[in-house]
Amino acid sequence: MILFLYGTLLDPTVLARMSGERALARRLRPARLAGWRRVFLRGTLCPTLVEDAAAAVEGAVLRAGPAALARLSDYEGSAYALTPLTVATARGPVRAQAWIAPPWRAEADRDWP
């Protein structure tokens, strides 16, 4: 599965630890998601996304195998659901999935750094 990562999993150390695959970070490729904005998940220091036609989120795409995907899903937890979307990459548009919380769980007035 191709994932779009936009938060804590962009850190190679976090990605390696949470996925159980040390080399996974080498497969990250820059990507941009138009029409969305990165904000805080309500009551946490974690990010989520909200739709915003005037915004865009920089992140990365990554192809993850079943074992890594299962571990990363556990890390993301029940606050997030995999959501299909299309991101822009150097090679053109790519269909990917991103962990996004429901809009009511987002602090839409507080952008994530």
Q: Residues 6 or more apart from 78 whose CB is under 8 A from it?
A: none
pLDDT confidence band for 113 (50 / 70 / 90):
confident
Instruction: Tally Cβ neighbours within 10 Å of residue 31.
Output: 26
**Residue 68 pLDDT exceeds 90:** yes
- Domain assignment present for 109: no
Q: What average pLDDT does this structure show over 79-86? A: 97
How many domains in the chain? Answer: 1
User: What's the predicted TM-score (pTM) here?
Assistant: 0.95
Containing domain of residue 66, as a range?
2-101
- Domain assignment present for 64: yes
Q: Residues 6 or more apart from 77 whose CB is under 8 A from it?
A: none
Instruction: Supply the CATH number for residue 34's domain.
Output: 3.10.490.10
Q: Amino acid identity of 27?
A: R
